[in-house]
């Protein structure tokens, strides 16, 4: 089955700096890669996703890049703000079936 | 606006008790999922369902069962709760077809003593 690895497990940045979280996956059949943000005590919520026919996607301060050959994808947050502090999860999913394989999460702290 | 609700936010049960966790979604989603979330382990899939009365094992089904009698409702059952099942349980739902967003419920923090 699919194996998703996520690094780093914790990340601290100064407000205004950029943050990068990286994930690798093992199954070349995976073609959908969502990123979820979970604030303390709240449910995970989708913040951005990318499909395998696209190499990069951007939404304001958030961007995701995908390298299918190397089987890795990354979340980039620019101009970080304290409200970006949360746990971020990456996931991978195949075209057939809708099962997500999640990474182990990255706890991001933005220091004011 | 998609809404996924879970029957309890916090639950305390004793070892050996039978525990029911319920999840309801109001968006006519075909797919429903149960995950458990533990620090450092991320979200691990217990069971999922693509249709009424249909279920598939996820990565960690041991000690759990599920029931889906109606499209909008997916129940997770702990037949005989054990202390190692103390965890946060999250339900999610999504449309069938090409993979897309899973919408999560608020979670149930289960403590087994």
- Summarised one tens digit per residue, pLDDT across range A47-60 is 999 998 889 999 99
**Arithmetic mean of pLDDT over chain B:** 94
Q: Which of A57, A41, A59, A46 is nearest to A102 (CA)?
A: A46
Which of A106, A67, A68 is CA-nearest to residue A90?
A106
Those residues whose C-beta lies under 8 Å from the C-beta of residue A16, and which sit 6 or more positions away, are: A79, A80
Mutate to test the interface with B, among A4, A93, A99, A103 (most CBs of B within 10 A): A99
Residues 6+ apart with CB under 8 A from B62: none
- pLDDT of residue A40 exceeding 80, the answer is yes
Pairing of the two strands A86-94 and A72-77:
unpaired
Q: What are B24-50's pLDDT values in tens digits?
A: 999 999 999 999 999 989 999 999 999
Q: Please answer yes or no on whether A44 and B104 come within 8 Å at the CB atom.
A: yes
Between the CA of residue B36 and those of A20, A69, A78, B41, what are the distances in Å? 26, 31, 31, 9
pLDDT for the residue A96? 66
* Burial class of residue A14 in the structure, from the number of CB atoms within 10 Å of its CB (0-12 exposed, 13-18 middle, 19+ buried): exposed
- Please name the member of B90, B99, B106 whose beta carbon is closest to the beta carbon of A93: B99
Mutation for B interface: A1, A39, A43, A94, most B CBs within 10 A: A43
Q: What confidence tier does B13 reach under pLDDT thresholds 50, 70, 90?
A: very high
The DSSP secondary structure of A22-90, one letter per residue, reads: EEE---TTEEEEEEEEE-TTS--EEEEEEETT-SEEEETTEEEEEETTTTEEEEEE-S--GGG-EEEEE
């Amino acid at each position: 089955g699919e194996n998703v690895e996520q690094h780093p497990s914790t990340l601290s940045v100064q407000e205004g700096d950029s943050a990068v979280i990286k994930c690798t996956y093992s199954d070349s059949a995976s073609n959908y890669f969502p990123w979820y943000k979970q604030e303390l005590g709240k449910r995970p919520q989708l913040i951005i996703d990318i499909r395998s026919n696209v190499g990069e996607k951007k939404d304001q301060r958030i961007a995701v890049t995908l390298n299918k050959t190397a089987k890795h994808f990354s979340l980039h947050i620019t101009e970080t703000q304290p409200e970006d502090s949360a746990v971020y999860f990456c996931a991978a999913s195949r075209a057939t079936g809708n099962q997500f394989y999640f990474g182990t999460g990255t706890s991001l702290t933005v220091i004011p | 606006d998609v809404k996924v609700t879970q029957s309890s936010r916090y639950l305390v049960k004793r070892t050996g008790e039978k525990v029911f966790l319920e999840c309801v979604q109001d968006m006519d989603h075909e797919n429903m999922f149960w995950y458990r979330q533990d620090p450092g382990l991320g979200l691990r899939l217990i069971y999922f369902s693509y249709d009424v009365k249909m279920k598939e094992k996820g990565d960690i089904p041991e000690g759990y069962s599920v029931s889906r009698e109606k499209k909008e409702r997916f129940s997770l059952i702990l037949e005989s709760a054990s202390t190692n099942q103390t965890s946060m349980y999250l339900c999610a739902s999504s449309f069938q077809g090409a993979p897309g967003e899973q919408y999560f419920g608020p979670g149930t923090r289960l403590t087994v003593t």
